[in-house]
Amino acid sequence: MPRICVRISLAVLTALAALAATPQQSADHALLGFTAESTRAQRDLEARFDAQLDADNLRNWMRHLSRHPTHVGSPGAKANAEWIAEQFRSWGFDTRIDEYQVLFPTPRERMVELVAPTRYTLRLGEPVLAEDATSGVTQDRLPTYNAYSADGDVEAEVVYVNYGIPADYEELERHGVDVRGKIVLARYGGSWRGIKPKVAADRGAIATLIYSDPRDDGYFQGDVYPEGPYRMEHGAQRGSVQDMPQYPGDPLTPGVGATANAERYTVEESPTIMKIPVLPISYGDALPILEALGGPVAPTSWRGALPLTYHLGPGPARVHMRVAFNWDLTPAYDVIAVLRGSEYPDEWVIRGNHFDGWAFGAGDPLSGMVALLEEARVVGEMAQTGWRPKRTIVYTGWDAEEPGLLGSTEWAEHHGAELQEKAIAYINSDGNGRGFMGVGGSHTLERFVNQISPDVEDPQTGVTVRERLKARLAVGGNREAASRTDLPISPLGSGSDYTPFLQHLGIPSLNIGYGGENGGGSYHSIFDSFDYYVRFGDPTFEYGVALAKTAGRATLRLANADVLPLRFGNFADNVRTYLQEVEQLAETMRDDTEHHNLLVDQNAFALAADPKQTYVVPEKKETVPYLNFAPLHNAVARLEGAAARYDSHLASAMAKGGLDADANSRLNALLQGMEQRMTRAEGLPRRPWFRHMIYAPGFWTGYGVKTLPGVREGIEEREWEEVRLFVGEIAAALDRVSDGLEEAVGILD
Amino acid sequence: MPRICVRISLAVLTALAALAATPQQSADHALLGFTAESTRAQRDLEARFDAQLDADNLRNWMRHLSRHPTHVGSPGAKANAEWIAEQFRSWGFDTRIDEYQVLFPTPRERMVELVAPTRYTLRLGEPVLAEDATSGVTQDRLPTYNAYSADGDVEAEVVYVNYGIPADYEELERHGVDVRGKIVLARYGGSWRGIKPKVAADRGAIATLIYSDPRDDGYFQGDVYPEGPYRMEHGAQRGSVQDMPQYPGDPLTPGVGATANAERYTVEESPTIMKIPVLPISYGDALPILEALGGPVAPTSWRGALPLTYHLGPGPARVHMRVAFNWDLTPAYDVIAVLRGSEYPDEWVIRGNHFDGWAFGAGDPLSGMVALLEEARVVGEMAQTGWRPKRTIVYTGWDAEEPGLLGSTEWAEHHGAELQEKAIAYINSDGNGRGFMGVGGSHTLERFVNQISPDVEDPQTGVTVRERLKARLAVGGNREAASRTDLPISPLGSGSDYTPFLQHLGIPSLNIGYGGENGGGSYHSIFDSFDYYVRFGDPTFEYGVALAKTAGRATLRLANADVLPLRFGNFADNVRTYLQEVEQLAETMRDDTEHHNLLVDQNAFALAADPKQTYVVPEKKETVPYLNFAPLHNAVARLEGAAARYDSHLASAMAKGGLDADANSRLNALLQGMEQRMTRAEGLPRRPWFRHMIYAPGFWTGYGVKTLPGVREGIEEREWEEVRLFVGEIAAALDRVSDGLEEAVGILD
């Protein structure tokens, strides 16, 4: 489901710059959580694991699994679930399929017509290409649409709203353009797609068309398919528009598993289903509409790469749009494959990837799924030769991720209590491709990841995947990256199946993938095919093997470590960076507000505007108060001290050959619950489902992470009481972590 | 000739931020250089001046002057020169036409054909439009071409070089693309156009095509002509490509007036004529070539708004290009109109605008020329009623500005010695339009300009033009602008007729114009017409009147001031800002170089690159030494002190009713030569013609200013010895100014 993007964000670069250097562990050093002796055994195991991975399996399995449509409810998805379960069984896993009944609307009718000033009936379809074998497979295939759009039959003038995020509507107001009663045309990008109709409906629009502008996703980026990897004229991006930042999963059963007998909302009651019709269109279909728009010329940053002058409207372009859906419950099949741990069977390492796609799903998600399968094959076969992991490993293949993380969410909700008791980590992957390692996750695992990445070789260059990533960061302008050893992992927002584990249940999570050199223009189209993937995704499947090595190491080390390899110094460092960011955010907003209000007083906005164009002068804004961040500073300082003490006490104990069995057990039990100490039972404001107080997707932005969300979004939305509340709540959470670390030091002594 | 752009640059914003606030002078206060009594007389005069300005004259004169082609050597230009001279005479000016014989090549042949992989013969022409009356006038009209291109008949593969500046060729090298023996296709923008073939030839290319990408100059910016003001599909930008940053004016007679008997270079000898053929083309003509390019995809910032994937080449696009020119000497007619001063006839205030254009020239230059004419009419008619300026006013209409400031440069060279003795200031204007006041010039006149702008009303809003500009700066993000009174004037690079006066002769200069709300897509095309101008330029000619009021006040105040209104505190402030900039430049280059070299050592460039694409790893760079800027700091500090002392002593003297006649004369004589103290007889490195040590156009960038050029370009080009030399030379120049100010204080006491 996510658009894998390992372009390094400014936030990550900032985080990196802020992190102190940590000494690199060479291959000779003990692994985190392992004694010297258990390290040797683990390294032997990993050498055997690596040796057995075979890229040909990935290729063959992808070809097999992507031969038919794979969306939830399709015969192909059911067949794939059963085939995947059969593989797991054949490799010795105790395997079952957990079934949930989820709401998954499919289109009955889709019609869009430009009715004025000229007429044009939108194509709403992708062509068959000789170069792409499955592009002609139509059996069971879903057309281009946005799942959880409302039904509707509307006709109105069109307004172009850029990315359709809240700031875009403020800009429209300045130009005197009102979207009430209008159909908005938004381009993909700038937010998760579900934000666009949510904001449009909030502003009074009656429907949303979302198109892929070639500036962001088409010929501006590079040669288009089938000549190159980028989106072609008639390619459109399917995808879910449920209000996932409120809660993901089945819209009818928030918080509980969507079992057959679960209590359900009606469709009308569900708060995450869009209230207006939405449809994705290609840039070929958007062109005649944009050409027909009048009104003010769009601001510079709003203009895409179509050969025209972008106007805002409203009209004279007028569109008639009709969409209707089958609002049916559909079975989702989660494949669960268990390898019982020999020493700590009730400690679970969960490793997952979804297997449902929007069409054939070769890249998204099967490229990750086949890597997981190969990883599981070797783990399973090693287990059949006598070795067993100390902890239980659970491999999962999730169904129904695309409509909104349904398979993983329902399973995590259904088994929530047990998972909070037993799960020690969740390791996710999704679409994968040629390029650079990208890891996001809990920063208690940042050090752990930095011990894995030097052990995996980059297939193209022969250096380690960490060296290659470091080079990319350094060349990208990050001065710190060239002189330090530890690389940052990104905080997680949402967009794949880690969300219910991390943000609902408080289970430490990682999301691992490779990419950055693998096109991208087939995303959620019928051209996300085997033919595309072997030309532009990862032609040799070597990066699939690299993913198996990376996620496999994470799984095996978590499963075998004597002491769980969580480290809190890195976590504290990151939280300090986020704290600095939110303080700066308040400061900047205060300055901006003062400047803005001064300009209003001076009538500067009116004087700077072109009198020949409509310009609505903005109003004054509420002053930003000075806020008390001291409780957070105190909590972070305490955490840093506690983390350092824990590290040194643990290091002493491990250097002496480890802890006795009882102490070891008590320590692991304590560590297992540490991430949950960062959660809040009542959840975040306006979205109780999201409980993690350090990481959340943005309520008004979607996938993108908001760290310290209660404070950060409180500032952004000028909800000062919320800021005050969450400064206290987060400080208390950090204190609970510090309490845990003090307790751990007690165990170690 | 210049593309008027009052979008406020970062440099200006920085300069503004760095300048200390200066108390605003209200209308009641004395004007700079005037006593309280002479201020009253001056204000009465200006009120009379304003009252007589008539927008209808501007409209009628523009229609008349733009009815035929106006380029140097055309019958229209000669007729316009004579008509303009006749007007001056009728208003009482002592008027003459000074004639020079200048090299002005015109096309004999122009042919460009795409010969592979498909064939397309370029149109190289602009269409006739019903909405534009003169677009059908072909008599005497020059086709689209670049003056001072070499003759040539070449065929080669094409390489796309973005803006064709030096940094672009470094990027091409990274991609393994070599332009030797190739025809380069560059887009307009990013530099003065003459830089593009200069750099291309320097890199071994055999020809240059320059096109207007719709991203920069076409539909991306707004609706195209005739629907809107932006450049249409077949519009191409004519213009000179002589190496003006080396020296402007007649390429055959650098440093001396191009009189009939002047010693001349041959065409072959002239260093400012391009060595390869060059031709401008429209985006309609560029499209088939760009579509036919293969090779690497161009970097993101290189991509324009044409509906295609931009590739670098070379080839398979292959172009055959043939151009040949008449290399004739042509008479240039400068109109010189003198109103003799009553008290100081040998102190000259020179006010100029050119009257030659590339086709009909309504906007560029006639919109400025008709404002100058109206200004001169009123001044002349006031003089016929008995009033006389104290100093001599010289109104000038320059011919042959478009090919490279030929009319003004030859005149300034011809009369150099006399001008350096008598000229107290040169006030330039050029194309003008609706929008905001934009002033560049000598910072000794910054305070002076800030006393004029509060006295001119903005025609659209009713506030002063300074209030409107201040609002624009403030809304544009300049926090300082909202809370201070003095606004910055920009340092001058080149691009209009001030250059020979300021940078060759060291005469204090101003360049004044309005714009920013006046389209821009007709620049140097046949659509720069009366019809265009009255729709998109300045439909009511009120901004022409505003220009007349602004430049007229500058002229009249300079002509009548008791003491020349130069102020050195603002100058010192600006030099301090430039000093901080060059120090920061060296610092940044040092850091960047260190980081770069570290990355080379770490092989990071290779590791960060996509192995499937050609990438040539860069080499290490020479370390940037620590440079001694102390002499400049000392000189600026001394200058600040001297300027403050001069200001306070002068203020005392003026408050007491002014100086006695002898002291006043000696002080003015001293002030007259102050700007010349900033010049260096040997000129700048590699271009002795440019003598000003504070302001110069960029040797490798063109129009854009380089302040403290000897130091700044020395750093940029890593010529450390040059930096050391010019730190001393500029410090000595500033000391000469301080010496002058100390002498002035002596006169005042």
How confident is the model over B186-207, as pLDDT tens digits?
Answer: 999 999 999 999 999 999 999 9
Chain B positions touching chain A (beta carbons under 8 Å): 214, 219-224, 228, 230, 297, 303, 305-309, 435, 460-461, 463, 467-468, 470-472, 474-476, 479, 482-483, 517, 595, 598-599, 602-608, 610-612
A251, A148 Cβ separation under 8 angstroms: yes
Of all residues in chain B, the one with the smallest CA distance to A515 is B610
Please state whether beta strands B207-211 and B106-116 pair in parallel, antiparallel, or not at all (unpaired). unpaired
Q: Which residue of A has its CA nearest to B465?
A: A607
Give pLDDT tens digits for B383-401: 999 899 999 999 999 999 9
A602–B463 CB contact, under 8 Å: no
Looking at this protein, which amino acid is placed at residue A288? P
- The structure tokens 């750099």 sit at B199
Task: Look up tokens 């658009």; give the residue.
Answer: A3
Q: What is the DSSP letter of B454?
A: G
**Would you place residue A250 in the very low, low, confident or very high pLDDT band (cuts 50, 70, 90)?**
very high
- Cα A725 to Cα A89: distance, rounded to the nearest angstrom: 50
Q: Do B309 and A230 touch (CB under 8 A)?
A: yes
Q: Cβ of B608 and A475 within 8 Å?
A: yes
Q: What is the pTM of this model?
A: 0.94
- Condensed to tens digits (0 to 9), the pLDDT of residues B228-269 reads 999 999 999 999 999 999 999 999 999 999 999 999 999 999
For residues A167 and A290, the answer to whether their CB atoms sit within 8 Å is: no
Distance CA A530, CA A63 (A): 6
- Is the pLDDT at A481 greater than 80? The verdict is no
Instruction: Answer yes or no: do A297 and B472 touch at CB < 8 A.
Output: no
pLDDT higher than 80, residue B7? no
Cβ of B599 within 8 Å of Cβ of A474? The answer is yes
Instruction: Check if the beta carbon of residue B433 is closer than 8 Å to that of residue B547.
Output: no
Whole-number Å distance between alpha carbons of A679 and A700: 21
Tokens 């509707």 belong to A152
Residue of chain A nearest B459, judged by CA positions = A611
pLDDT of residue B489: 94
Q: Kind and range of the H or E element at B638?
A: helix B630-655
- A155: β partners: A320
Distance from CA of B471 to the nearest CA of A (A): 4
Q: What is the pLDDT at residue B480?
A: 75
Question: How is residue A21 annotated by DSSP?
Answer: P
Sequence-ordered list of residues with C-beta below 8 angstroms from that of A690, at least 6 positions apart, any chain: A245, A247, A503, A504, A683, A684, A696, A697, A709
The stretches of A426-523 forming alpha helices (DSSP H) are 446-452, 465-475, 479-483, 498-499
Residue A344 β-bridge partners: A391
Q: How far from A27 is each of A50, A455, B607, B622, B655, CA to CA, in Å?
A: 16, 8, 22, 37, 83
Query: Which residues from A are below 8 Å from B308, CB to CB?
Result: 219
- A610 closest CB neighbour out of B214, B479, B517: B517
Contact A479 B595 (CB under 8 A): yes
**Residue A520 backbone class (left: φ over 0; alpha: ψ -120 to 50; beta: rest):** left
Query: What pLDDT digit, counting tens, does each position of B439-494 carry?
Result: 999 999 999 999 999 999 999 999 999 999 999 999 998 877 666 667 999 999 99
CATH class (in words) of the domain with range A10-100+330-566: alpha beta
**Mutate which: B8, B174, B217, B220, vs A, most A CBs within 10 A:** B220
Q: Which of A319, A404, A365, A406 is nearest to A149 (CA)?
A: A404
* Cβ separation A598–B482 shorter than 8 A: yes
Write out the two tokens for B339.
């109103």
Distance CA(A230)–CA(A522), nearest Å, equals 7
Question: What is the model's pLDDT at position A703?
Answer: 81
Nearest-CB residue to A482 (from B214, B309, B604): B604
> How big, in percent rounded to 5, are the helix, strand and coil portions of chain A?
40, 20, 40
Helix (H) or strand (E) holding A437: strand A435-441
- What residue in A sits closest to B461 (Cα-Cα)? A607
Q: Where are the beta strands (DSSP E) in B168-276?
A: 183-187, 207-211, 239-240
| Percent of chain B surpassing pLDDT 70 | 96
Chain B CB contacts of A297 below 8 Å: 222-223
Sign (positive or negative) of CA dihedral B442, B444, B448, B454: positive
What's the per-residue H, E or C state across A293-333?
ECCCECCHHHCCCCCCCCECCCCECEEEEEEEEECCEEEEE
- Cα–Cα distance measured from residue A457 to residue B62, given in angstroms and rounded to the nearest whole number: 72
Specify whether the CB–CB gap between A209 and A283 falls below 8 A: no
pLDDT of residue A478: 83
A170 three-class SS: helix
**Residue ranges of the alpha helices (H) in A602-683?**
604-608, 630-655, 661-672
Residues from chain A contacting residue B602 (CB–CB below 8 Å): 471, 474, 482
Of A14-23, A427-436, B525-534, the poorest mean pLDDT is in A14-23
pLDDT of residue A484: 60
ipTM over 0.95: no
With an 8 Å Cβ cutoff, the interface of chain A facing chain B consists of 214, 219-224, 228, 230, 297, 303, 305-309, 435, 460-461, 463, 467-468, 470-472, 474-476, 479, 482-483, 517, 595, 598-599, 602-608, 610-612
Name the residue facing A303 among B220, B224, B309 (closest C-beta). Answer: B220
- Asked whether residue B730 carries a pLDDT value surpassing 50, the answer given is yes
Token look-up 């980059």 returns: A458
What's the whole-number mean pLDDT along residues B349-367? 97
Mutual angle of helices B10-18 and B568-601, in 10-degree steps: 120
Q: In chain B, which residues have their Cβ closer than 8 Å to the Cβ of A463? A: 607
Tokens 């003062």 sit on residue: A594
A106-327: what CATH class?
alpha beta
Specify the pLDDT at position A729. Answer: 98
pLDDT exceeds cutoff 80 at A246 = yes
Q: Which residue of A has its CA nearest to B617?
A: A475
Task: Reply yes or no on whether the pLDDT at A26 is more than 90.
Answer: no
Cβ-nearest to A308 among B219, B297, B461: B219
CA gap B2, B122 in Å, rounded: 27
Pairwise CB contact (< 8 Å): B599 & A517: no
Per CB-CB distance under 8 Å, the chain A contacts of B610 are: 435, 517
Q: B504 pLDDT exceeds 60?
A: yes
**CB-based contact A471 B309, cutoff 8 Å:** no
Highest mean pLDDT among A182-186, A611-615, B696-700: A182-186
Task: Give the pLDDT band (50/70/90) at residue B24.
Answer: very low
Closest-CA residue of chain A to B434:
A610
Task: Find all residues with CB under 8 Å of A328, minimum gap 6, and list them.
Answer: A73, A103, A104, A105, A106
Task: Please state, in angstroms and rounded to a whole number, the distance separating the CA atoms of residues B335 and B84.
Answer: 7
Q: Does residue B22 surpass a pLDDT of 90?
A: no
What value does the mean pLDDT take over residues B705-727? Answer: 97
Distance from CA of B603 to the nearest CA of A (A): 8
Q: Inform me whether the pLDDT recorded for B510 exceeds 70.
A: yes
Question: A10 pLDDT band (50/70/90 cuts)?
Answer: very low
pLDDT tens column, A626-663: 999 999 999 999 999 999 999 999 999 999 999 999 99
**DSSP structural state of residue A442:** -
For the cut 50, the answer to whether the pLDDT of residue B150 exceeds it is yes
Does B602 contact A482 at a Cβ distance shorter than 8 Å?
Answer: yes
Q: Chain B closest CA to A305's CA: distance in Å?
A: 5
What is the mean predicted confidence (pLDDT) over B322-327? Answer: 98
Minimal CA separation from A501 to chain B, in Å: 33
Q: Which residue of B has its CA nearest to A213?
A: B307
Distance between CA atoms of A249 and A255, rounded to whole angstroms? Answer: 9
- Ordered alpha helix ranges (H), A384-502: 406-414, 416-422, 446-452, 465-475, 479-483, 498-499
Q: What is the mean pLDDT of residues B605-633?
A: 96
Beta strand B423-428 with B344-354 is parallel
Residue B34: pLDDT above 90? Answer: yes
Q: Is the pLDDT of residue A14 over 80?
A: no
Mutate to test the interface with B, among A475, A480, A590, A615 (most CBs of B within 10 A): A475
pLDDT tens sequence across B81-120: 999 999 999 999 999 999 999 999 999 999 999 999 999 9
A217: closest CA of chain B, how far (Å): 12
Percent of chain A with pLDDT over 70: 96
* Rounded Cα–Cα distance for residues B355 and A72 (Å): 73
Shortest alpha-carbon distance between residue B258 and chain A (Å): 45
A46 vs A49: CA distance, rounded Å: 5
Each domain of chain A, given as residue ranges in start order, spans 10-100+330-566, 106-327, 569-748
Q: What is the DSSP letter of B315?
A: -
Closest by CA to B470, choosing from B106, B140, B21, is B21
Query: Per-residue pLDDT tens for A655-672?
Result: 999 999 999 999 999 999
Beta bridge partners of B351: B395, B427
Identity (one letter) of the amino acid at A505? L
How much is the pLDDT for A520? 82
* Residue B181 CB partners (closer than 8 Å, separation 6+): B156, B204, B205, B206
Contact residues for A474 (Cβ-Cβ < 8 A; gap 6+): A481, A482, B595, B598, B599, B602, B604, B608
Q: Among A180, A183, A118, A179, which residue's Cα sits nearest to residue A154?
A: A183
Band (A480; pLDDT cuts 50, 70, 90): confident
Contact status, residue A569 vs residue A18, Cβ threshold 8 Å: no
| Residue B117, preceding peptide bond in cis (omega within 30° of 0) | yes
Residues of A in contact with B599 (CB under 8 A): 471, 474-475, 482
Of B308, B482, B517, which is closest to A599 when you measure between CB atoms? Answer: B482
Q: Which of A219, A471, A607 sits opposite B463 (nearest CB)?
A: A607
Q: What is the average pLDDT score of chain A?
A: 94
How many contacts, defined by CB atoms under 8 Å, are there between A and B? 116
| CA B287/CA B234 separation, integer angstroms | 11
* Tokens of residue A182, six digits: 């209008």
Structure-token pair, residue B56: 């209808």
Kindly report the number of other CB atoms within 10 A of residue A681's CB atom.
6
CA distances from B244 to B195, B218, B250 (A): 9, 27, 10
CA atoms of B729 and B718, how far apart (whole Å): 18
The closest of A595, A597, A627, A619 to A712, measured between CA atoms, is: A627
Classify each residue of A143-173 as buried b or exposed e, where b means 16 or more C-beta atoms within 10 Å of its C-beta: bbbbbbbbebebebbbbbbbbbbeebbebbe
CA–CA dist B127, B111 (Å, integer): 17
Q: In the CATH scheme, what is the code of domain B569-748?
A: 1.20.930.40
Question: If you average pLDDT over residues A188-207, what whole number do you get?
Answer: 96
**Architecture of the domain made up of B10-103+330-566:** 3-Layer(aba) Sandwich (3.40)
Q: What is the mean pLDDT of residues A335-362?
A: 97
A121–chain B nearest CA distance, Å: 22
Q: Which residues of B touch A307 (CB under 8 A)?
A: 214, 219, 305-307
B471 with A607: Cβ contact below 8 A:
yes
Question: Confidence class of residue B25 from pLDDT cuts 50, 70 and 90?
Answer: very low
Nearest-5° Cα angle at B343, B341 to B348: 45
